[in-house]
Amino acid sequence: MDQVKIYKELDLTSAGCAGPLGELNQVAGDLKEGEAVKVILEGKESKLLVESWAKKKGFKVLDVKEEGKKYVMLIAK
Amino acid sequence: MAKRIIIAGGNIAGTIVANRLAQKLDEELNKGEVEIVVLNKSEEHVYLPGQLLMAFGLETPGELVRKERSLLDRRIKFLHGDAGTMTKIDVENRQVITADGKPHKYDYLVISTGVEYTWEEVPGYKEASLTPYEFDSALKMREALENFQGGTVVINVAKLPHRCPVAPIETTLMLDDYLRKRGLREKTRIVYTYPVEGVFARPITNKMMKGIFEQRGIEVHSPFNVTSVNPNEKIIESQEGEKIKFDMLIAVPPNQGAKVIGDSGIGDRRRWVPTDKLTLRMKNHSDVYVIGDATDLPVSKAGSTADFESYVVANNLANDIKGNLGVKHYGGDVLCYIATGTDQATYIRFSYTMNESPPPPSYIHWWGKVMYNKMYWTVTAKANI
């Protein structure tokens, strides 16, 4: 975990037409080895959706923190 | 000395914000205390959202193009050609360099450089496809549709996000209707392919549109992330391992920010400019604003987004100069009409805090869409509302 560099922080609590997965799909695709994207989501449903997406696409969920109604996740290649 | 505001890029976002700024700084412009300069490569302004209608023969090319100069307040300076082609945006030294080698110093900068299509990300994609996203290809698409006699049509979205996010849905439903009216629908398989699950990434719209796709017999293959296209064999292939043979491929090319953003080292890896979601200032640069497709915000890359953002940017920039207007915040507002045929539509209106509630498709909303397009030149572009 200490080795991971955060490439980008994505606030997806209010994602537009690309939705949280559309935005994440793009940024995660640009990740290099040793990098992670920090994702902020609202609601458990979004968190589960991202976890399922990460599993299917072969990304690692390094960390999940609950902050009130929000979830902060670290996703790496 | 006059304070100089540079608008880096014309088209929808740059034109609206330039005109709105001219209104906000009317007195200062008249007294020569402020100068507004728009830089843009092309002398012409193309209304991109109209290209889809043109591809279906519902709009003529001449309706979609105007001279940029004719749309701007007469007090705004407009530079085009080499004099308006930006080669570097130097935010550290507060200057923009153009292709004629001239540095343009600024006190405030608005980045409205838009989107560029990076077809090369998908081998074979451009050669094999038609797209309403490019003017010339939209005209070819019109001709190809006129000559079409049936077969498999694949609609593919290469990557998200992309500009005019509802256009792939519109293309698909307009195509379905167009073919029904020509008696060709039974001879045609329509296949919609999308990078994430569903037909659209917002759940409410996705549910409604999926229902319409199902009723119309449109196949949906998603997630489908295109990796390559074979233009000779006419096969599109996905990361998920699917191969689909087509007779016509209608594509939404990969989008990135403008090349000058990458060359200037001020964007992320896809050349989107880091932007504060509320004030629309470039992050860590209080004298730079970002508007429209150029931002890295997870909002829709749509003309209406740029229009909503223009109120915030013009107000906040004028406030930076005059100091008496207060700070406005962008609420993530978006409005998109969605054509569900060649004479019916619905719409979605949402923001950071409000979800959409699309009404049932009707002729009334189609009329609204057409009127919105028609009013662009006289009302929206000139910031008359």
Say whether B119-254 and B3-114+258-331 share the same fold: yes
B165: contact with A, CB 8 A cutoff: yes
Mind listing the pLDDT tens digit for each residue in B185-219? 999 999 999 999 999 988 899 999 999 999 999 99
Question: Domain B119-254 adopts which CATH fold?
Answer: FAD/NAD(P)-binding domain (3.50.50)
| Position A1 pLDDT exceeds 60 | no
* Upper half-sphere CA count for residue B46 (Cβ side, 13 Å): 17
Question: Rounded CA gap, B351 and B126, in Å?
Answer: 34
Tell me what the pLDDT averaged over chain B comes to: 97
> Is there a contact between B352 and A26 if contact means CB atoms under 8 Å apart?
no
| Mean pLDDT, rounded, for B336-349 | 97
Residues with Cβ within 8 Å of B283's Cβ and at least 6 positions away in sequence, in order, are B274, B275, B276
Helix, strand or coil, per DSSP, at residue B6? strand
Write the CA distances from B242 to B21, B67, B188, B223, B229, integer angstroms: 50, 45, 20, 10, 12
List pLDDT tens digits, range B250-271: 999 999 999 999 999 999 999 9
Please report the pLDDT score of residue A45 as a whole number. Answer: 86
Answer yes or no: do B200 and A14 touch at CB < 8 A.
Answer: no
Asked if residue A43 has pLDDT above 90, the reply is: no
- B221 - beta bridge partners? B193
Percent of chain B with pLDDT over 90: 98
Peptide bond into B161 cis (omega under 30): yes
The torsion angle over the Cα atoms of residues B73, B75, B76 and B82, rounded to 10 degrees, is 120
Beta-carbon count within 10 A of B55 CB: 27
Query: B165 vs A14: CB contact, 8 Å cut-off?
Result: no
Q: B202 vs A19: CB contact, 8 Å cut-off?
A: yes
CB neighbours (10 Å) of residue B312? 22
Confidence of residue B47 (pLDDT cuts 50, 70, 90): very high
Task: Pick the residue from chain A with its C-alpha nearest to B298.
Answer: A15
pLDDT at B385: 85
Name the band, by pLDDT with cuts 50, 70 and 90, for residue B303: very high
List the domain boundaries for chain A. 5-76
- The yes-or-no verdict on residue B51 having pLDDT over 70 is yes
Please state the length of chain B: 385
Mean pLDDT score, B278-291? 97
Provide the residue ranges of all domains of chain B, joining segments of one domain with +: 3-114+258-331, 119-254
Is the pLDDT assigned to residue A14 strictly greater than 90? no
In percent, how much of chain B has pLDDT > 70? 100
Assigned CATH topology for domain A5-76: Translation Initiation Factor IF3 (3.30.110)
Q: Is residue A67 helix, strand or coil?
A: strand
Fold exhibited by the domain B3-114+258-331? FAD/NAD(P)-binding domain (3.50.50)
Tokens of B266: 């001020």
Q: Does B160 touch chain A (CB under 8 A)?
A: yes
Q: Which residues of B touch A23 (CB under 8 A)?
A: 160-161, 298
- Residue B144 touches partner A, C-beta closer than 8 Å: no
The token pair at B264 is 């200037």
Dist CA B353 CA A13 (whole Å): 9
Contact residues, chain A, for B336 at CB < 8 Å: 17
**Residue B378 vs residues B303, B330, B364, B373, B384: alpha-carbon distances, Å:** 15, 24, 22, 10, 8
Task: Report phi then psi at B12, rounded to 5.
Answer: -60, -55
Tell me if B201 and A14 make a contact (CB, 8 A cut-off).
no
Average the pLDDT over B342-359 and give the result.
95
- pLDDT recorded at residue B384: 93
Mutation target to probe the B interface, by most B beta carbons within 10 A, among A17, A30, A35, A45 is: A17
Helix, strand, coil share (%) of chain A residues, nearest 5: 30, 40, 30
pLDDT in tens, B133-165: 999 999 999 999 999 999 999 999 999 999 999
Structure confidence at residue A2 (pLDDT): 57
Residue contact A16–B195, C-beta within 8 A: no
Determine whether the interchain pair B201/A17 forms a contact, defined as Cβ–Cβ distance below 8 Å: yes
Helix residue ranges, H only, chain B: 11-24, 26-30, 51-55, 68-71, 125-128, 135-147, 167-181, 203-215, 259-263, 303-322, 363-374
pLDDT tens digits along B320-341? 999 999 999 999 999 999 999 9
Residue B41 has, within 13 A of its CA and on its CB side, a CA count of: 11
